Amino acid sequence: MPLKDWNEVNDSASRRLAKKGYEFLGVAFHYGPKNDMSDQLLLRKEGTNYVVSVGYTFSGYRVKRTCVSTVHGTTKDKIPLFGISIPELSAIDEKLASEIRRNVGEAYKEIIVDEGIDFL
């Protein structure tokens, strides 16, 4: 049965990321051009907070693909509705950023394969 709303998607992502050692702290939605959108996720791992940008590609009402674009550090504990601004973000080691991108990307790919995301 496909997931039907963003709360279900976030709950699934939270459970999957917890298995990889991440705490899911929040999300802000940013609507993009037609058939695309992206989220800014706030995650914590080993006491450090990270902001991860996840993009979604739609076909109709179904999410067909996700991609993780950027990873930054932040001191924020909560994510504002419209996301964390650039001055509040900090660069992190590229090796660490790659690991986080891979872990988050795998979690969202698993959601699409195992459950599906369909808002119709």
Higher pLDDT: 37 or 18? It is 18
pLDDT value of residue 52: 95
Confidence of residue 81 (pLDDT cuts 50, 70, 90): confident
- pLDDT tens string 22-68: 999 999 876 676 678 889 999 999 999 999 999 999 988 899 999 99
Instruction: Specify the long-range contacts of residues 88-91, CB closer than 8 Å, at least 24 apart.
Output: 89/51
Q: Looking up tokens 């601004």, which residue turns up?
A: 85
90-98 average pLDDT score: 95
Q: What percent of the chain has pLDDT over 70?
A: 97
| pLDDT of the residue at 80 | 87
pLDDT of residue 87 exceeding 80, the answer is yes
Residue among 63, 69, 38 nearest 120 (CA): 63
Please check whether residue 12 is in contact with residue 3, taking contact to mean a CB–CB distance below 8 angstroms: yes
Using 50, 70 and 90 to split pLDDT, how confident is the model at 82?
confident
Task: Write the CA distances from 26 to 42, 44, 51, 71, 79, integer angstroms.
Answer: 5, 10, 10, 15, 6
